[in-house]
Chain A
Amino acid sequence: MSSSGGPIDWSPMIIGFAAGFLSRLISIRTGRSHYPGFPSGYISQLALAIIAAMIGSSVIVALVGKEFTAATFLTLAATQFRDVRSTERKTLEQEEELILVSRGAGYIEGIAITYEARNYLAMLVALVTAVATQYTGIVIGLVVGIIAIVVGEIYMSGPKIGDMIEVEPAKLHFEKGSLLYVGDVMMMEVGLPHSRDRYQKEGMGVILTPKGRRGQSVLWNIAQRQAISHEAAAAVGTQKDVGYPEQTPLCRMDMPKGSGRAGLSILPVESNMQALIQAIKNTPVLEAGKWSALTSPILRRKEMD
Chain B
Amino acid sequence: MADAPTPIMFAIVTTNKEAVHGGMAPVFVAADEPERDRIAMWLCRITNCIAHDLHNGTIILTVNQASV
Identify 8 new A-B residue pairs, CB closer than 8 A, beyond the known A191-B53, A245-B68, A246-B44: A188-B67, A189-B53, A191-B40, A222-B2, A244-B44, A245-B64, A246-B50, A246-B51
The answer to whether B2 and A223 touch across the interface, beta carbons within 8 angstroms, is yes
CB distance from A219 to the nearest CB of B (A): 14
Complex CA gap A242/B48 in Å reads 7
Q: List which B16-40 residues lie within 8 A (CB) of chain A.
A: 37, 40
Q: List which A147-203 residues lie within 8 A (CB) of chain B.
A: 176-178, 188-194
Does A16 touch B at the CB level, under 8 Å? no
Residues of A within 8 A of B2 (CB): 222-223
Q: Point out residues on A near B: beta carbons under 8 Å.
A: 104-105, 176-178, 188-194, 222-223, 226, 242-246, 248, 250
The answer to whether A191 and B1 touch across the interface, beta carbons within 8 angstroms, is no
Complex CA gap A180/B44 in Å reads 18
Complex CA gap A176/B52 in Å reads 13
How many chain B residues touch A (Cβ–Cβ < 8 Å)? 21
CB distance from A290 to the nearest CB of B (A): 16
Q: List 24 A-B contacts (CB under 8 A).
A: A105-B1, A177-B53, A178-B52, A178-B53, A189-B53, A190-B51, A191-B51, A191-B52, A191-B59, A191-B60, A192-B44, A192-B51, A223-B1, A242-B48, A243-B46, A243-B47, A244-B45, A245-B48, A245-B49, A245-B68, A246-B44, A246-B50, A246-B67, A248-B67
By DSSP majority rule, is chain B's interface helix, strand, loop, or mixed? mixed
Complex CA gap A96/B1 in Å reads 13
Complex CA gap A10/B48 in Å reads 63
Residues of A within 8 A of B1 (CB): 104-105, 222-223, 226
Query: Quick one: closest B residue to A194, CB to CB?
Result: B41
Residues of B within 8 A of A246 (CB): 44, 50-51, 67
Complex CA gap A177/B33 in Å reads 14
CB distance from A240 to the nearest CB of B (A): 10
Complex CA gap A191/B53 in Å reads 5
By CB atoms of chain B within 10 A, which of A191, A193, A226, A244 has the most?
A191
Decide: A245 near B46, CB < 8 A? Known: A104-B1, A192-B41: no
CB distance from B27 to the nearest CB of A (A): 16
Decide: A194 near B50, CB < 8 A? Known: A223-B1, A223-B2, A244-B45: no
The answer to whether A193 and B37 touch across the interface, beta carbons within 8 angstroms, is yes
CB distance from A133 to the nearest CB of B (A): 48
The answer to whether A192 and B55 touch across the interface, beta carbons within 8 angstroms, is no
CB distance from A188 to the nearest CB of B (A): 8
Residues of B within 8 A of A242 (CB): 48
